[in-house]
Amino acid sequence: MHIYLDLFLTFAKVGICTFGGGYAMLPILQREVVEGKHWATDEELNDYFAIGQCTPGIIAVNTATFIGCRLKKAPGGIIATLGVVFPSIVIVTVIAACLSNFQDVEAVQHAFAGIRACVCILIVNAVLKLRKSSVIDLPTAILFTLVFVASIVFGLSPALLVVVCGLIGLGLSRFKKAQHGDANAEDTPADGDANAEDTPTDGDAEARR
């Protein structure tokens, strides 16, 4: 089969099998992409997933773009992504079209009242799950509380809060490094700096290759 068609169909299959957030996609990717097509190893898949989580955008889309891109450069990335979203667009459009005809029916309204109660809990559960990786110490706990309050009480824009918190994270690490440097005095003065220099340089080297 043509590789692009294969990419599209495989990721369309992944899209159909995923319910909920991108986290639900990992086991399906393992089955289809690693065991089925041998397009990546388990380790590589974990790396892609980690990068997908910490780059802007939906995790599922990021991961699909990444795998497609590693396989067939930019066109591969685009085709894989279109594959993963294609079933969603079709299915959701059909449901939305049907629903607008039915949403005045009393039973449908009752059903949605029940579903809304359920969704509240699903969101609560998602937040509880996130806590393990997000609120790991006191500063992050404070950030969480501040954002929560700022969002509910003052209705500040999420975009603004995200950007500010990213900068605060950067600032906090600088602050920590400065403290760390003072504590160690002159024993390892260049340590923090050396580490900071290291990584970007390696990244550049990788890019040049």
Partner 1 sequence: MIYLQLFIEFFVVGLLSVGGGLATIPFLTDMGQRTGWFTLDQLTNMIAISESTPGPLGVNMASYVGYETAGIFGGAVATVGLISPSILVILIVAAILVKFRDNKHVKAVFYGLRPASMGLIAAAGWSVICLTFFTVTQGAGILPEHIAFSWKCIAVAAAVFFFTHWSKTQKAHPVLWIALSAVAGIVFEM
Shorter beta-carbon distance to partner 1: residue 5 or 127: 127
Q: Write down the residue that tokens 């996609």 correspond to.
A: 25
Beta carbon of residue 136, minimum distance to partner 1 (angstroms, whole number): 8
Shorter beta-carbon distance to partner 1: residue 9 or 89: 89
Tokens of 121: 């809990």
Shorter beta-carbon distance to partner 1: residue 20 or 36: 20
Q: How far is the C-alpha of 7 from the C-alpha of 39, rounded, in Å?
A: 10
Q: How far is the C-alpha of 148 from the C-alpha of 161, rounded, in Å?
A: 10
Q: How far is the C-alpha of 148 from the C-alpha of 139, rounded, in Å?
A: 14
Q: How far is the C-alpha of 26 from the C-alpha of 99, rounded, in Å?
A: 30
Beta carbon of residue 14, minimum distance to partner 1 (angstroms, whole number): 9
114 backbone φψ class: left, alpha, beta (φ>0; ψ -120 to 50): alpha
Shorter beta-carbon distance to partner 1: residue 3 or 172: 172
Beta carbon of residue 187, minimum distance to partner 1 (angstroms, whole number): 20
Tokens of 31: 């089955």
Beta carbon of residue 1, minimum distance to partner 1 (angstroms, whole number): 23
Comparing CA positions, the residue from 84, 70, 68 lying closest to residue 9 is 84
Amino acid letter, 184: N
Shorter beta-carbon distance to partner 1: residue 9 or 127: 127
Beta carbon of residue 184, minimum distance to partner 1 (angstroms, whole number): 17
Beta carbon of residue 53, minimum distance to partner 1 (angstroms, whole number): 6
Residue 188's φ and ψ, nearest 5 degrees, are -125, 65
Shorter beta-carbon distance to partner 1: residue 1 or 56: 56
